[in-house]
């Protein structure tokens, strides 16, 4: 007789039903619930717990349970008490790295939006990248491909002597960068905490005029950022992550100098969400010692080629238009700003969650082939650097 396996999972993990509803060698009892329904009482008889960032996994949730494996279908894991899991011998896995491409595409779109719509010159500008892991590394390479010079800050990597970047202490980077982008995890203690890493003092030292955050909201002191913006109307911000989500600062969301304001969806491309599930599925199969057969590719719809006729103008402007075709970031900004119509705080918070939960389909750029037979060599080089696929024939 096959052993039974009780799995409690957030119902908004992409295709959780098809991925975890049947596992070779087990009789699976899969319980899909809303994140606020994942309670101590519910998980008490669970073997496996699968969550997203909206569920705090700590002693209050796990006390008295028989959970043996916890996974989060997200890049970050600051909502998980990993020390507690280790102390109790509970295995852990995250989807770190799974939706890297989606976040990098978001950042590329944001940079080109700044250049095309807000006069922020990228070619020759200095980008300070704070946090140079998977995402930060790829953002830096994209920026270099767009003509930017990159300064990097990542103390653990700099101490190891990793090659490939111009490592700078944070104060030096802040003094020399024109744009600042954050890609750190949220770390509250230890040798290199990142909670309010960019605070009032850091912003006072920053000589540039653009701050971008698609990491964790509290890496940037949001109140200090608001004050910094109000001191100079040429300063701009791009925010996908906010302190206090989903009850984010209305003043910051409404501020006209926050020119890209989105509801923590940088990693929410359809392919990124699919990869999150695949990462968790594979980790669970390894934990159980089984050979799993679920593959995200079978669940994803095909993507048709996109015909593109070049306008014959500036290659960078053409590139910005191409990127807006693949990912219209302004659509997400408009949807997020529409939340301001909801005056009641609980309705506002629910609206923020709803935007994330019912996010429109956005596909990975490498799948959205642009058929542009008349694209010149400079445009092709720029497009390749930005992560686009240009083809001469469909």
Contacts of residue 276, defined as CB under 8 A and 6 or more positions apart, other chains included, come to 13, 14, 73, 74, 95, 98, 99, 267
Q: Residue 394 — very low, low, confident or very high, per pLDDT cuts 50/70/90?
A: low
In three-state secondary structure terms, 17 is helix
Please calculate the CA angle 75-77-80 and round it to the nearest 5 degrees. 150
Model confidence at 99: pLDDT above 90: no
Q: Residue 78 — very low, low, confident or very high, per pLDDT cuts 50/70/90?
A: confident
pLDDT digits (tens, 9 = 90+) for 107-151: 999 999 999 999 999 999 999 999 999 999 999 999 999 999 999
pLDDT digits (tens, 9 = 90+) for 372-389: 999 999 999 999 999 999
Q: What residues pair up with 212 in beta bridges, in sequence order?
A: 181, 238
Portion of the chain with pLDDT greater than 90, in percent: 93
Whether 212 and 181 have beta carbons less than 8 Å apart is answered as: yes
> At residue 65, what are phi and psi to the nearest 5 degrees?
-95, 170
Closest to 253 measured CA to CA, from 187, 342, 324: 342
Closest to 316 measured CA to CA, from 101, 125, 164: 125
Give the class (CATH, top level) of 4-94+269-298. alpha beta
Model confidence at 2: pLDDT above 90: no
pLDDT digits (tens, 9 = 90+) for 178-218: 999 999 999 998 899 999 999 999 999 999 999 999 999 99
- What's CA 83's distance to the chain center, in Å? 24
pLDDT at 97: 81
Nearest-10 Cα torsion for 285, 276, 215, 57:
-50
Q: Residue 75 — very low, low, confident or very high, per pLDDT cuts 50/70/90?
A: confident
The domains of the chain are located at: 4-94+269-298, 100-261, 306-327+362-391
For the residues 150-177, what does the mean pLDDT come to?
A: 96
End-to-end CA distance of the chain: 53
Choice among 216, 255, 268, 362 that is catalytic: 216
pLDDT digits (tens, 9 = 90+) for 239-258: 999 999 999 999 999 999 99
Model confidence at 233: pLDDT above 80: yes
Instruction: Please indicate whether residue 216 is annotated as part of the active site.
Output: yes
Q: Residue 91 — very low, low, confident or very high, per pLDDT cuts 50/70/90?
A: very high
Alpha-carbon distance of 218 to 196, in angstroms, equals: 6
Choice among 105, 115, 243, 245 that is catalytic: 245
pLDDT digits (tens, 9 = 90+) for 336-360: 999 999 999 999 999 999 999 999 9
Q: Going along the chain, which residue ranges are E strands?
A: 4-10, 27-33, 48-51, 69-72, 91-94, 126-130, 149-153, 179-182, 210-213, 236-239, 258-261, 306-307, 370-371, 390-391
DSSP symbol at 167: B
Mean pLDDT of the residues in the chain: 96
Q: How many CB atoms within 10 Å of residue 99?
A: 28
pLDDT at 294: 97
Q: At which residue do the structure tokens 């970031």 appear? A: 329
The topology under which CATH files domain 100-261 is Rossmann fold (3.40.50)
pLDDT at 393: 77
For the residues 267-275, what does the mean pLDDT come to?
A: 94
In three-state secondary structure terms, 366 is helix
Choice among 52, 264, 316, 362 that is catalytic: 264
Q: What is the pTM of this model?
A: 0.91
Q: What is the DSSP string of 131-162?
A: --SHHHHHHHHHHHHTT-EEEEE-HHHHHHT-
Q: Do 4-94+269-298 and 100-261 show the same overall fold? A: yes
Contacts of residue 198, defined as CB under 8 A and 6 or more positions apart, other chains included, come to 130, 180, 182, 211, 213, 219, 220, 221, 224, 225
Alpha-carbon distance of 228 to 225, in angstroms, equals: 5
Closest to 119 measured CA to CA, from 207, 31, 214, 210: 210
- Using a 10 angstrom Cβ sphere, with 0-12 exposed, 13-18 middle and 19 or more buried, the burial of residue 344 is exposed
pLDDT at 336: 99
Q: How many CB atoms within 10 Å of residue 175?
A: 15
Whether 99 and 296 have beta carbons less than 8 Å apart is answered as: no
Portion of the chain with pLDDT greater than 70, in percent: 100
Nearest-10 Cα torsion for 221, 227, 232, 237:
40
pLDDT at 96: 85
Q: Residue 76 — very low, low, confident or very high, per pLDDT cuts 50/70/90?
A: confident
For the residues 165-170, what does the mean pLDDT come to?
A: 98
For the residues 46-59, what does the mean pLDDT come to?
A: 96
pLDDT at 98: 84
Q: What is the DSSP string of 99-112?
A: THHHHHHHHHHHHH
């Amino acid at each position: 007789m096959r052993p039974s396996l009780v799995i409690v999972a957030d119902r908004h993990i992409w295709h959780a039903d098809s991925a975890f509803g049947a596992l070779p060698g087990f009789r699976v009892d899969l319980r899909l619930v809303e994140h606020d329904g994942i309670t101590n009482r519910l998980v008490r008889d669970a073997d496996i717990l699968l969550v997203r960032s909206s569920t705090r996994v700590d002693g209050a949730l796990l006390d008295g349970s028989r959970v043996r494996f916890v996974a989060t279908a997200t890049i970050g894991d600051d909502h998980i008490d990993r020390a507690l899991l280790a102390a109790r011998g509970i295995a852990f896995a995250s989807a770190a790295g799974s939706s890297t491409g989606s976040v990098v595409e978001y950042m590329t779109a944001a940079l080109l939006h700044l250049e095309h719509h807000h006069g922020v010159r990228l070619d020759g500008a200095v980008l300070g990248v704070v946090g140079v892991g998977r995402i930060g590394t790829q953002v830096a390479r994209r920026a270099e491909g767009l003509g930017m010079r990159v300064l990097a800050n990542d103390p653990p990597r700099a101490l190891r002597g990793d090659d490939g970047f111009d490592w700078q202490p944070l104060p030096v980077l802040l003094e020399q960068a024109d744009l600042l982008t954050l890609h750190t995890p949220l770390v509250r203690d230890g040798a290199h905490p990142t909670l309010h890493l960019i605070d009032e003092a850091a912003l006072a030292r920053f000589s540039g005029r653009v701050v971008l955050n698609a990491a964790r909201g509290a890496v940037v002191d949001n109140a200090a950022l608001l004050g910094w913006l109000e001191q100079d109307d040429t300063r701009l911000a791009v925010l996908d992550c906010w302190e206090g989500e989903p009850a984010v600062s209305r003043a910051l969301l409404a501020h006209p100098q926050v020119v890209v304001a989105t509801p923590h969806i940088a990693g929410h491309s359809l392919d990124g969400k699919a990869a999150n599930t695949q990462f968790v599925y594979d980790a669970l199969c390894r934990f159980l010692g089984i050979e799993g057969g679920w593959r995200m590719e079978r669940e994803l719809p095909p993507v048709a080629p996109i015909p593109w006729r070049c306008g014959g103008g500036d290659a960078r402007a053409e590139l910005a238009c191409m990127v807006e075709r693949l990912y219209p970031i302004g659509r997400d900004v408009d949807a997020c700003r529409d939340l301001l119509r909801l005056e009641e705080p609980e309705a506002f918070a629910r609206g923020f969650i709803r935007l994330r939960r019912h996010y429109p389909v956005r596909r990975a750029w490498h799948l959205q082939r642009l058929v542009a037979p008349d694209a010149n060599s400079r445009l092709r080089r720029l497009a390749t650097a930005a992560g686009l696929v240009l083809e001469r024939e469909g």
